[in-house]
A and B are shown apart, each in its own frame.
Chain A
Amino acid sequence: MAEVVLKSVNKMYGNVQAVKDVDLHVRDKEFMVFVGPSGCGKTTTLRMIAGLEEITSGDIYIGERLVNELPPMDRDIAMVFQNYALYPHKSVYDNMAFGLRMRKFPKPEIEKRVKDAADILDIEMLLHRKPRQLSGGQRQRVALGRAIVRHPQLFLFDEPLSNLDAKLRVQMRVELKRLHERLETTAVYVTHDQVEAMTLGDRVVVMKDGLVQQVGEPLELYNQPKNKFVAGFIGSPAMNFVEISIAAESGGLWANNAAFQIKVPPAKLEALRPKVGKQVTLGIRPEALQIANGSTPVESSFQASVEVIEPLGSEILLNVRCGTNDMVARVDPSIRVKLHENIRLALDPARLQFFDSDCELAL
């Protein structure tokens, strides 16, 4: 059980800065997920916590200890790798026992821990097999088992589910979450999949270009993204972005565009007043767009034509075009629309988000 603290951690590869001034506090027993596009520095950060990469500058603490100079073996961590990294020449049992043997645990203790872990993960019948005789999902479990037998202070996961097929991935995701609740060990998990990040993480760190963009609980990231990148990265389908200009008219503020004119909700008035006459980016979540009905006020709706219909069963995704803007609306599955039909879409004023067009920060 331990917290992990990163203090202005930097990593340089030659002249390339892979990780920039990361400050982070992972709480005890927390499941922290790093998410971001490839090359954003999330894996590098994880590997620095593991001790597999040297830190260019900054400090990393695991528990109370400063671990900057500690080799991986002395950090009391366990790591699950993307390709599982099972030792191909050892049986499943020996794979799981390896870490304990290296630490000179007594034999009965090793046996007990391996059996316990195998029981938790439901792999007792595989203990005598070699890794090559296992399916992808089974290998994944063995890799997990090898990590949990150690009872480490900290679990590190490096995209552990990305080699599994979609169905198995969902299943393992649930199991991982259950496992974390049971073991109550601090975990740092790296993924590029925002769905995985949202479902697994107690808190999520969004990274881009080596910089932490935002740290927060999943819904906090979804509802109050700090910038345009986080808003666009979290959520599927992604948030719609429309370039608009702000105009002051008849006592209110209006978000104008060649194709529509929308009244700025009262909550955003203060933030947007300095932007009058300037360009800003409007962000609309797909579910904040609905088909308008008779009672929808004109100032929060606009015309659009349906370009593509994606009926997913539980919902329908409408790809619509409004002027030069393409948008996606997530609507009720009972709604019937035709391709190329002109429809009127209503947006939920309370859920509009505005971003500075230059610095991309939320307004």
Chain B
Amino acid sequence: MVIEHKWKKWVYFIIPMAGFIIFTLFPFYWMAVTSFRPDGELYRSWRAANATPFWTLSPTTEHFRDLLTNTAFLQWLMNTMFVALVATAISLVCGLFAGYALSRLKFRGSEFLGTAIFITYLVPQTLLFIPLADIIRNMQIGNTPWALILTYPTFLIPFCTWLLMGYFKTIPKELEECARIDGATRFGAMVRIVFPIAIPGILSAGIFAFTLSWNEFIYALVFLSSVEEKTVPVGVVSELIRGDIFFWGQLMAGALLGSVPMAIVYSFFVEYYVAGLTGSVKG
């Protein structure tokens, strides 16, 4: 980027960028500040003489202690982790094979099938949870993690399939052909050559699927009823909003702790993740 005047750089780059960063990060900052703010400050009027809405002068960990001791937060965390991991794994495996088949194998109706899978992803969850609830009840897996593990793939598999299908298309098919001449079967070439090359795509599909399951709310709200089976998003909201009382401190502490695992996952795989989304394979 060549910018001839300094002020232009400020006007066109630094100021808009700063605005954008503040806009994006402010909710997280607000969440963090609120979770460390003592109750006395939390419920003080903004017009009070000693109000400090944007920071706190006496940070406290009482909300965290309260969250961890008086609620089943750790249990929720474990539930969410379990559900997200298993649902992601199932979806990734299905997505890998489906994405490969749709991008590489020519068969009758493959394009129609690809579009059909994509359309299922567009069916809103708010519509789908009603029939799914019926299925869950018939299968008698309501109020167990399996209710979520088996329903999350309904939106995760189409998503993974499409992301991976796009990625597989960027891998030259000569690589596979060469492997097949070198002595691999079609399946062998897929597993030994295509999948390793597709790791950035697989990782980003996995991260996305994991995030979607981690944050999922409606199915978790509908299919789980007992406190100890709940996931973080549902548990925090249903247990820390009692009637019309919002326990803001604990709510935000829960939100903060709930987003830590995601932040760790993202920071680990950020490079792969970017490569996966931009989809470039250099031979």
Bind each other: yes
* Contacts from A to B (Cβ < 8 Å): 50-52, 71-73, 75, 77-79, 81-89, 98-99, 102-103, 131-132, 139, 146, 150
Do A72 and B177 have beta carbons less than 8 Å apart? yes
Q: Which residues of A have CB within 8 Å of B33? A: none
A71-B185 in contact given A85-B172, A85-B174 (Cβ < 8 Å): yes
The residue from B179, B184, B197 contacting A88, defined by CB atoms under 8 A apart: B197
Contact of A72 among B181, B197, B283 (CB under 8 A): B181
29 inter-chain pairs at a CB distance below 8 angstroms, sorted by A residue, are A50-B177, A50-B181, A51-B180, A52-B180, A52-B181, A71-B185, A72-B181, A73-B180, A73-B183, A75-B181, A78-B182, A79-B177, A83-B172, A85-B172, A87-B197, A88-B175, A88-B282, A89-B196, A89-B197, A89-B199, A98-B179, A99-B181, A102-B182, A102-B184, A102-B188, A103-B183, A131-B283, A146-B178, A150-B182
With A and B bound together, what is the CA distance between A168 and B180 in angstroms? 29
How large, as a class, is the contact surface on chain B? 20 to 34
C-alpha spacing A132/B190, complex, angstroms: 21
**Chain B residues with CB below 8 A from A71, complex form:** 180, 185
Q: Give complex CA distance A150, B182 in Å.
A: 8
State A149–B233 Cα separation when bound (angstroms). Answer: 58
Contact B181 A88 (CB under 8 A): no
Contact A72/B180 with A88-B197, A88-B282, A139-B283 known, Cβ cut-off 8 Å:
yes
B90 within 8 A of A: no
The residue on B at minimum CB distance from A150 is B182
**Are B281 and A98 in contact (CB-based, < 8 A)?**
no
**By the criterion CB–CB under 8 Å, are B281 and A88 in contact?**
yes
**In the bound complex, CA of A98 to CA of B196 (Å):** 14
Cβ–Cβ < 8 Å partners of A73 in chain B:
180-185
Chain A residues positioned under 8 Å from B177 (CB to CB): 50, 52, 72, 79, 81, 85
Bound-state Cα–Cα, A98 to B227, Å: 54
Q: Shortest beta-carbon distance, A140 to chain B, in Å? A: 12
Please name all residues of chain B whose beta carbon is closer than 8 Å to the beta carbon of A81 when the two chains form the complex.
174, 177-178
A86, A99, A146, A150: the one within 8 Å of B283 (CB): A86
Q: Which 7 A-B pairs have the closest CB atoms?
A: A102-B183, A99-B182, A85-B174, A85-B178, A81-B174, A72-B181, A72-B180
How many angstroms from the CA of A72 to the CA of B185 in the assembled complex? 9
B101 within 8 A of A: no
CB distance from B175 to the nearest CB of A (A): 5
Chain B positions within 8 Å of A72 at CB level: 177, 180-181
Would you call B262 an interface residue if the criterion is a C-beta within 8 Å of the partner chain's C-beta atoms?
Answer: no
Q: For the complex, give the distance between the alpha carbons of A220 and B181 in Å.
A: 34
Query: Is residue B193 within 8 Å, beta carbon to beta carbon, of the partner chain?
Result: yes
List chain B residues, Cβ under 8 A from A84.
Answer: 283
Question: CB-CB < 8 A to B181: which residues of A?
Answer: 50-52, 72-73, 75, 77-79, 99
Residues on the B chain within 8 Å of A75, using CB: 181
Which residues of B have CB within 8 Å of A87?
A: 175, 178-179, 193, 197
Task: Give chain A nearest CB distance to B250 CB in angstroms.
Answer: 47
CA distance A78 to B181 in the complex (A): 6
Q: B259-283 vs A: 1/0 string, CB under 8 Å?
A: 0000000000000000000000111
Chain B hits for A85, CB < 8 A: 172, 174-175, 177-178, 283
User: Given the complex, which residues of B lie within 8 Å of A52, measured CB to CB?
Assistant: 177, 180-181
Per-position binary interface string of chain B over residues 183-201, scored 1 when its CB falls under 8 Å from any chain A CB and 0 otherwise: 1110010000100110100
Q: How many whole Å from A180's CB to the nearest CB in chain B?
A: 19
Distance in angstroms from B98 CB to nearest chain A CB is 23
Q: Which residues in A have their C-beta under 8 angstroms from that of B178?
A: 79, 81, 85, 87, 146
Residue of B nearest to A81 (CB): B174
Q: How many whole Å from A280's CB to the nearest CB in chain B?
A: 45
Residues of A within 8 A of B188 (CB): 102
Task: Please measure, in the bound complex, the distance between the C-alpha atom of A109 and the C-alpha atom of B179, giving whole angstroms.
Answer: 20
**A98 to B192 alpha-carbon distance, docked (Å):** 10
Residues of chain A within 8 A (CB-CB) of B183 are 73, 99, 102-103
Which of chain B's residues have a CB closer than 8 A to the CB of A103? 183
State the Cβ distance, B70 to closest chain A Cβ, in Å: 50
In the complex, what residue of chain A is closest to B186 when comparing beta carbons? A71
Q: How far is the CA of A103 from the CA of B188 in the complex (A)?
A: 12
Can you name the residue of chain B whose Cβ is closest to the Cβ of A131?
Answer: B283
Q: Which residue of B lies closest to A73 (CB)?
A: B183
Give the CA-CA distance A330 to B33 in the complex, in Å.
85
Q: Which residue of A lies closest to B195 (CB)?
A: A89
Chain A residues near B179 (CB-CB < 8 A): 87, 98, 102
In this complex, what residue of A is CB-closest to B182?
A: A99
> With A81-B178, A87-B175 given, is the CB distance from A132 to B282 under 8 Å?
yes
Q: Nearest chain A CB to B280's CB is how many angstroms away? A: 11
CB distance from B155 to the nearest CB of A (A): 31
Contacts of A102 in B (CB 8 A): 179, 182-184, 188
- Alpha-carbon distance A84/B182, docked complex (angstroms): 14
Contacts of B175 in A (CB 8 A): 85, 87-88
Chain A residues positioned under 8 Å from B283 (CB to CB) = 83-86, 88, 131-132, 139
**CA of A72 to CA of B193, assembled, Å:** 16
What separation, in Å, do the CA atoms of A103 and B197 have in the docked complex? 22
Cα–Cα distance between A102 and B188 once the two chains are bound (Å): 9
Interface residues of B in 160-176 (CB under 8 A from A): 172, 174-175
